Amino acid sequence: MEPVLLRARGVPNSRHIDTYLAAGGYEGLKKALTMDPEAVTKEVLDSELRGRGGAGFPTGRKWTFVPKEHPGPKYLICNADESEPGTFKDREIIEYDPHLLIEGIAIASYAIRANTAYIYIRGEFVRWARILETAIAEARQRDILGASVMGSNYRLDVWVHRGAGAYICGEETSLIESLEGKRGFPRLKPPFPAVVGVFGKPTVVNNVETLACVPSILTRGAAWFASIGRPRNTGPKLYCVSGHVRRPGVYELPMGVTFREIIEEHCGGIRDGHTLKAFFPGGSSAPVMTPDQIDVKADFDACAEAGSMLGSGGVIVLDDSVDMVEAAANLAHFYAHESCGQCTPCREGSDWAMDILDRILEGHGRPEDPATLLRICQYASQGMTICPLGDAFALPISSIVKKFPYEFERHIAAATPRPPKKLPVLPWAGPRPGFDGQ
Amino acid sequence: MPKVTIDGTVVEVPAGTNLIEAARQAGVAIPYFCYHPYLSIVGQCRICMVEIEGAPRLAIACATPVTDGMVVRSETSARVKEARDAVMEFLLANHPLDCPVCDQAGECLLQDHSFTEGRDTTHMVETRRTFPGLERRLLGPHIVQNQNRCIHCSRCIRFTQEISETAALTYKSRGNHAFIDTFDGQPFTDPFSACTADVCPVGALTIREFRFRKRAWKLRSTPSVCPGCSIGCNLWIDHHERTVYRFTPRENPAVNATWLCDFGRFLAESLNETHCLHPLHRVEGQLHRVSWGEAMRALALDVSAARTLRVVASANLSNETLFLARELFVRHLKGELVVPVHPGEPRRMKNGKGEWLYSRDAHPNSEGARRLGLELVDGERLARFLYGAADLTVILDPTAHPYLSTAEALQLLRVSPTLSLARTNHPTAEVASWLLPVASLASDEGTFTSSGGHVQRFQPAFSPAGEARPAWQILQLLARAMGVSALDLDSPAAVFAAMATKEKGFSGLEWERLGGGSPSTYREHQHVG
Ligand SMILES: Cc1cc2nc3c(=O)[nH]c(=O)nc-3n(C[C@H](O)[C@H](O)[C@H](O)COP(=O)(O)O)c2cc1C
Ligand code: SF4
Ligand code: FES
């Protein structure tokens, strides 16, 4: 397949607007502006484009949820928070083709009649925030953004907003809170952002890759887009492969290639002398899959059928050198650190699971630990929490416990009881400052 | 109105009611920690899980509005029980089990739920998370924080954001290590700071003044009204063995929702100050103890002998006392009566609709005095009133106005005989020829009219100290001694009934219906939230 999203990778000076325009850039936007916003939405709906941010929600559907008759402003937010472990595709698009993203943002904003769009970018992405700022300035200079988009009477302003480096701010409602200048706490849903979003106004949140798919849907047509992959799982997809493969990296492939193709053909297989032990198909929040599932198609529905999810398309490959308990502990550390702390099950559960896994690794596992882990995971997921971070930590950890029970057994069989903790005897240091002794 | 079935009971509730409130009406108690009827809904604690027929997943009752025909299972669902059990286990994973030394014990939502539903085992064997340095921290002048006990319900944060509007409190840090702190790191000096301890479902925030003074279950509560200003917030007097330990807010959506300002709340202990315990009579410069009988006989003579009689009443007195004073001293004895009013500090309170109410003055019953047609005076006019000559001055409340404790006022009072009612030591005692011990609000009964026009009843918590008597009763005894049988009314209820027939401002009101509720132990009404 000729690349669509990574077309500009390797092209000299690919970020510059002239390079983009010379390659037929902004034609999609030009076409969209001649159409009704509803017709643009219809085109995206027909393409069966599904969100690349993790949930795989049909993008066109999401746009139709914005109340058309809403009198006040509406907003589009591009989610460039990309902090899912094992995911590094959005950065690649911004690095080589920022105008592709801006064009996608402009078309999507037009479709939902938003006059302001925000790009919420992960705080650590300083370089990529600058690239976007430059690209937006170029587009504004050429009247592609601003008071009159490409000579039409449609106005669009795009702003880059840098986050402060919290994973949870990738979750759309938490992102909105953060954009409003508040603490990144996910909101209770309903209402959904398409109805009550940023500043209380209808808002669509879409991932970078999702929006980058939009220009080509307009230039080449929904039918072309839908012809890639299979029904409900269409279009080009960026797979970010990391871990123990020979050639990790971002690969643009038609949706629905198998994991075998990705791992063995494109990435050159597992590193020498090792065999595949497990892989996460869609970032660290997806339940782990085992070598017998390697022929599963890497698309939304096939992954779901296999008991996992395509998520963000971040394929993390683990070979036989990996201790799965260690992998689980690694995940637990991440999620315990990133849980926002609102919901009891996620806040307490992630910390607790981390403590148990650490204790097993320290050689003090107990026979009941796997069951306790499963119980924690069961009650931190499946609607027990406000946002899906509960599931994101619970499902992969429980999948490891279920699929690799013998690894836990091995650790636990060799375990020694934890020596009783000696509490230090603290010297009396007088009353604490500010405390009156009551 | 939508009809819902909750655990088999059908109730009809207004549209928009959430399942917790609907269940309350159906007699089903759905547990909750983060939900509070007067705060926004965040759905954080997850203990209020219920099963809704037709929904694949459990839902949180606090954030689920009723819809017609909804069938909800709470106590009757095994899935719900298991989920709540799991949430309790999560909450108790790090919550210290220090109930025996925790001052919230007895009025702790977590403890209550643990007792009714909880198990006595946990799978948790790890070292508990602690917050070194934040176990006994003075967050502000009135609030002691023990972060180890916090269950992250965010009620206190929402209180400062939504009710007191100072947004003083916030979470700092993230996840399981998030803790409560003031936003700017400065002391927590919100004028409503102690309400955060009220809304705290556990012992993470406690009130410094009340900590370790009395176990919650020993307290009895009596409905009363705040004496601090004209807004008239409803409160409970929490007391034990004739000592007042604290005020806690009593729900009244029209006045104070379920809040109290720190100023009013901490007036509680001043009710315990009783320095005057016996009637005293000054003979040759010395105060002598006399009996009530002697005092009343002598006073009846003095009062009727006085050709010019002047009375300083008070906007701190109940409607009943003011009515008796007016009838006796003005109608009957043709004396002059004024009610001094002091503007005091400006105070405000948020009612249940989220509107601010502002105080007009520093007295609980200035509106009542106005409605009884009494003459309200400021300090300047009070001075002029006292400057005129009189055969006898009656002071019904020495704390009616700060002017009464000035040297100038004392000099004016020295000129002629003065009868004063008194509870605490006050300079007027030096010049009074008669001192009659009067009961505090905690031992009085009657009604106050708030500046918003609500006639609100307060009840006696315990009998007065020593020989003290409530002010209305002193006036009744005087009327009896003087043979004014029309005013010989033997209870505030009887006075109120007389007032209701005579006064426009009170017509149609019935004593029994003036609310207040019945005295109770603290547990029955704790945490409106
Ligand atoms: C904990 C959590 C983290 C998330 N992080 C990201 C992220 O970094 N980038 C992203 O695009 N979407 C992320 N999402 C998904 C967003 O909530 C949202 O579904 C997405 O931005 C919608 O865009 P789409 O429809 O284009 O997929 C995250 C979701 C959760 C629950
Ligand atoms: S699930 Fe976790 S991250 Fe999401 S809102 Fe709840 S506590 Fe925060
Ligand atoms: S989640 Fe409903 S009361 Fe806390």
Question: Predicted confidence band at B525 (pLDDT cuts at 50, 70, 90)?
Answer: very low
Which architecture characterizes domain A230-319 according to CATH?
Roll (3.10)
Q: What is the pLDDT of residue A34?
A: 96
B137 closest CB neighbour out of A347, A372, A434: A434
B45 shares contact with chain A (CB less than 8 Å): yes
Q: Is A365 exposed, middle or buried (0-12, 13-18, 19+ CB in 10 A)?
A: buried
Find the A184 Cα to ligand 1 centroid distance in Å.
14
DSSP B391: S
A351·B87 Cβ contact <8 A: no
In a mutational test of the pocket of ligand 3, which residue from B18, B19, B21, B33 has the highest number of ligand atoms less than 8 Å from its CB?
Answer: B33
Find the B284 Cα to ligand 2 centroid distance in Å.
78
Range B402-431 average pLDDT: 94
Find the A236 Cα to ligand 3 centroid distance in Å.
42
Mean model confidence pLDDT for chain A: 95
Is the CB of residue B32 below 6 angstroms from any atom belonging to ligand 3?
Answer: yes
B55 shares contact with chain A (CB less than 8 Å): no
Q: What is the pLDDT of residue B287?
A: 93
Find the A334 Cα to ligand 2 centroid distance in Å.
13
Peptide bond into A190 cis (omega under 30): yes
Range B160-167 average pLDDT: 96
Residue B522 has pLDDT above 60, yes or no: no
Q: What is the pLDDT of residue A433?
A: 59
CA distance A306 to A294: 10
Which of the pair, B400 or B119, is modelled with greater confidence?
B400
Distance from the B162 Cα atom to the nearest Cα atom in chain A, whole angstroms: 15
Percent of chain B residues past pLDDT 70, beyond the cut? 97
Mean model confidence pLDDT for chain B: 93
Is the CB of residue A343 below 6 angstroms from any atom belonging to ligand 2?
Answer: yes
Tell me: domain A324-413, CATH 1.20.1440.230, correct? yes
Question: Predicted confidence band at B529 (pLDDT cuts at 50, 70, 90)?
Answer: very low
Question: Predicted confidence band at B513 (pLDDT cuts at 50, 70, 90)?
Answer: confident
Is the CB of residue B34 below 6 angstroms from any atom belonging to ligand 3?
Answer: yes
Question: Predicted confidence band at A429 (pLDDT cuts at 50, 70, 90)?
Answer: low
Residue A120 has pLDDT above 90, yes or no: yes
pTM as predicted = 0.93
Residue for token digits 């009846």? B300
B91 closest CB neighbour out of A337, A348, A351: A348
Name the token pair of A115. Answer: 């006059």
> A230-319: same fold as A17-227?
no
For B91-109, write each residue's pLDDT tens digit.
999 999 899 999 999 999 9
Residue A95 has pLDDT above 70, yes or no: yes
Q: What is the DSSP string of A369-407?
A: HHHHHHHHHHHHSTTSSSSTHHHHHHHHHHHHHHH-HHH
A345 shares contact with chain B (CB less than 8 Å): yes
Residue A424 has pLDDT above 90, yes or no: no
For B266-298, write each residue's pLDDT tens digit.
999 999 999 999 999 999 989 999 999 999 999
Q: Which CATH number fits domain A17-227: 3.40.50.300, 3.40.30.10, 3.40.50.1460, 3.40.50.11540?
A: 3.40.50.11540
Amino acid at B190: D
Q: What is the DSSP string of A202-226?
A: -EEEEEHHHHHHHHHHHHH-HHHHH
Cα of B304 vs its chain's centroid, Å:
40
CA distance B157 to B181: 9
Q: What is the pLDDT of residue B520?
A: 52
A191 shares contact with chain B (CB less than 8 Å): no
Q: Is A56 exposed, middle or buried (0-12, 13-18, 19+ CB in 10 A)?
A: buried
Residues in Cβ contact with A87 at an 8 Å cutoff, skipping those fewer than 6 apart: A240, A283, A312, A313, A314
Residue for token digits 């508040």? A182
B44·A386 Cβ contact <8 A: yes
CA distance A389 to A168: 8
B152·A347 Cβ contact <8 A: yes
Q: What is the pLDDT of residue B118?
A: 75
Is the CB of residue B35 below 6 angstroms from any atom belonging to ligand 3?
Answer: yes
Relative to the CA of A167, which ligand 1 atom is closest? 3
A348·B41 Cβ contact <8 A: no
Name the token pair of B79. Answer: 């899935």
Residue A435 has pLDDT above 90, yes or no: no
CA distance B332 to B335: 8
Relative to the CA of B32, which ligand 3 atom is closest? 3
**What Å distances lie between residue A292 and A241, A278, B467, CA to CA?**
19, 9, 91
For B438-450, write each residue's pLDDT tens digit.
999 999 999 999 9
Is the CB of residue A83 below 6 angstroms from any atom belonging to ligand 1?
Answer: yes
Residue B436 has pLDDT above 80, yes or no: yes
For B225-282, write each residue's pLDDT tens digit.
999 999 999 999 999 999 999 999 998 999 999 999 999 999 999 999 999 999 999 9
CA distance B315 to B339: 6
Is the CB of residue B151 below 6 angstroms from any atom belonging to ligand 3?
Answer: no
Q: What is the pLDDT of residue A419?
A: 81
Q: What is the pLDDT of residue B411?
A: 94
Name the token pair of B158. Answer: 């929402």
Other CB atoms within 10 Å distance of the CB of residue B118 = 18
Percent of chain A residues past pLDDT 90, beyond the cut? 92
Q: At what angle do helices A369-380 and A405-413 cross, to 10 degrees?
A: 140
CA distance B510 to B272: 31
Q: What is the pLDDT of residue A404?
A: 97
CA distance B241 to A387: 50
Residue for token digits 């004739």? B242
For B448-471, write each residue's pLDDT tens digit.
999 999 999 999 999 999 999 999
Is the CB of residue A53 below 6 angstroms from any atom belonging to ligand 1?
Answer: yes
Find the A172 Cα to ligand 1 centroid distance in Å.
6
Per CB-CB distance under 8 Å, the chain B contacts of A391 are none
Q: What is the pLDDT of residue B498?
A: 93
In a mutational test of the pocket of ligand 2, which residue from A387, A391, A393, A395 has the highest number of ligand atoms less than 8 Å from its CB?
Answer: A387
B208·A436 Cβ contact <8 A: yes
A180 shares contact with chain B (CB less than 8 Å): no
Distance from the A363 Cα atom to the nearest Cα atom in chain B, whole angstroms: 14
Range A84-96 average pLDDT: 96
The answer to whether residues B479 and B487 touch, using CB atoms and an 8 Å cutoff, is yes
Q: What is the pLDDT of residue A418?
A: 84
Cα–Cα nearest to A340, from A124, A180, A83, A168: A168
Residue B157 has pLDDT above 70, yes or no: yes
The answer to whether residues A248 and A242 touch, using CB atoms and an 8 Å cutoff, is yes
The answer to whether residues B395 and B369 touch, using CB atoms and an 8 Å cutoff, is no
CA distance B404 to B379: 9
Q: Which of B174, B177, B207, B211 to mutate to test the interface with A (most CBs of A within 10 A)?
A: B174
Find the A173 Cα to ligand 2 centroid distance in Å.
11
Buried b (16+ CB within 10 A) or exposed e, B415-430: ebbbbbbbbeebebbe
Residue with CA closest to ligand 1 atom 25: A51
Task: Give the residue extent of every domain in chain A.
Answer: 17-227, 230-319, 324-413
Range B56-69 average pLDDT: 96
B138 shares contact with chain A (CB less than 8 Å): yes
Q: What is the pLDDT of residue A434?
A: 58
DSSP B161: I
**What Å distances lie between residue B334 and B304, B338, B339, CA to CA?**
10, 13, 16
For B346-375, write each residue's pLDDT tens digit.
999 999 999 999 999 999 999 999 999 999
Nearest listed ligand to the Cα of residue A185: 2
Range B338-345 average pLDDT: 96
The answer to whether residues B337 and B310 touch, using CB atoms and an 8 Å cutoff, is yes
CA distance A437 to B6: 49
The answer to whether residues A168 and A389 touch, using CB atoms and an 8 Å cutoff, is yes
DSSP B412: H
Find the B173 Cα to ligand 1 centroid distance in Å.
23
CA distance B349 to B359: 8
Question: Predicted confidence band at A432 (pLDDT cuts at 50, 70, 90)?
Answer: low
Cα–Cα nearest to B301, from B267, B258, B253, B333: B333
What is residue B528's three-state secondary structure?
coil
Distance from the B218 Cα atom to the nearest Cα atom in chain A, whole angstroms: 20
Which of the pair, B119 or A63, is modelled with greater confidence?
A63
> Lowest-pLDDT range, A73-77, A204-208, A317-321, A427-431?
A427-431
For A318-370, write each residue's pLDDT tens digit.
999 999 999 999 999 999 999 999 999 999 999 999 999 999 999 999 999 99
